[in-house]
Amino acid sequence: MSRKCTVTGKRFAKGKSYSYRGIAKKQKGIGLNITGSCKRQHRPNLFEQKFWSVEEKRFIKLKLSAHGIRIIDKLGLDAVLRKMRASGKKI
């Protein structure tokens, strides 16, 4: 499985991390300067969870972000599965 939430579609985001050097202006310095930057990835908060589907009478294993778990708590598993299947996702 990919590192992607099956409900929300959240995945890795690209970004940079910066290295700073110097003394801040608040502390009577001349300011902070960026001395280097590295590429990095912002990772979603993913969990692999099993849920019991009452309609299908079986366990369903999903890879979810924390936000996806909250959506399932709010709407219910079967409603979320119906919505995902209507949009064309295979579960």
What the chain holds in terms of domains, given with CATH numbers, is 13-86 (2.30.170.40)
Q: What is the pLDDT of residue 36?
A: 95
Q: What is the pLDDT of residue 64?
A: 95
pLDDT tens-digit profile of 2-14?
Answer: 899 999 999 999 9
Under the banding of pLDDT at 50, 70 and 90, the label for residue 1 is low
pLDDT tens-digit profile of 43-87?
Answer: 999 999 999 999 999 999 999 999 999 999 999 999 999 999 999
- Cα separation of 45 and 66, whole Å? 6
